[in-house]
Structure 1
């Protein structure tokens, strides 16, 4: 399977639904896989074999059950196959320490989720346009 897809890591069912609606409203055709906690995200990424393509980008919430988003990010950066995987922290947190720690652990971007659906949809459209189309990664150079 060599399909470009997105991994959304989100435990809040309302935020998950909002994100999926934003993808649909933006007419985004890329497959979106959802992990609903940190452990599920790590298991999803680390159980893939070499014939399966990793997601082009991970959209990662920080406040997750079982394993925090920061712990997920740390695990992604420690695992050789996922070290260079783009990770966008997409969170409700406006804590400076969360932003600093996310970047320290290797996040590619830190974005606060807008509350307004129209703004959130526009954000999703822009994120997908950049990370799925414009951004070059070692696997697609």
Structure 2
């Protein structure tokens, strides 16, 4: 895993196809960024806690909502309550378009809520949103 720079996204999603698609989109559109994938929210926290003092935190964490072990909402709550990780912007990236999910995650502290698109072109434009969030956090 490449963590020498903060130019990486940490992405949690239990769907490996979605992980691969997002990684491909980021690699094609944001060549200077890497994507590190986790299968659930607990793995996100374990990854972050495993970083050494010379390793940078991700510029942005991207979370699916519906995951095993810890949902995206649970993970967001843990991250926002954690002194070391609560400043990392978190984007909810999910198939849900529920207003309840949007309101809840924004209240907890998500930087954005994005419903997963169904076309490649939409994915490309979303990669620019991720980049903007990373730049705002640095």
Counterpart position of 1:60: 63
The question of 1:45 aligning with 2:48 is answered yes
Residue 133 (structure 2) aligned to one of 115, 131, 134: 131
CA contact under 8 A between 2:26 and 2:34: conserved in structure 1? no
Cross-structure match for 2:5: 3
Alignment map for 1:1-141 (pairs within 5 Å): 2-4=4-6, 5-124=8-127, 126-132=128-134, 134-135=135-136, 137=137, 140=138
Question: Take 1:105 and 1:12, find their aligned partners in 2: how far apart are those partners?
Answer: 24
TM-score normalised to structure 1 length: 0.87
- Check 1:103–1:128 CA distance in 2 against 1; reply closer, same or farther (3 A cut): closer
Structure 1, 42-51 or 14-23: larger mean CA deviation: 42-51
Secondary structure of the structure 2 residue equivalent to 1:82: coil
In structure 2, stretches of 5+ residues that fail to align are: none
Q: TM-score under structure 2 normalisation?
A: 0.89
Structure 1, 69-78 or 47-56: larger mean CA deviation: 47-56
Q: Deviations over 1:32-63 (max 9, x none)?
A: 11111111111112232433211010011111
Q: Give the Cα–Cα distance (whole angstroms) in 2 for the partners of residues 27 and 74 of structure 1.
A: 28
- Unmatched runs of 5 consecutive residues or more in structure 1: none
Q: Is the contact between residue 27 and residue 34 of structure 2 (CA under 8 Å) also seen in structure 1?
A: no
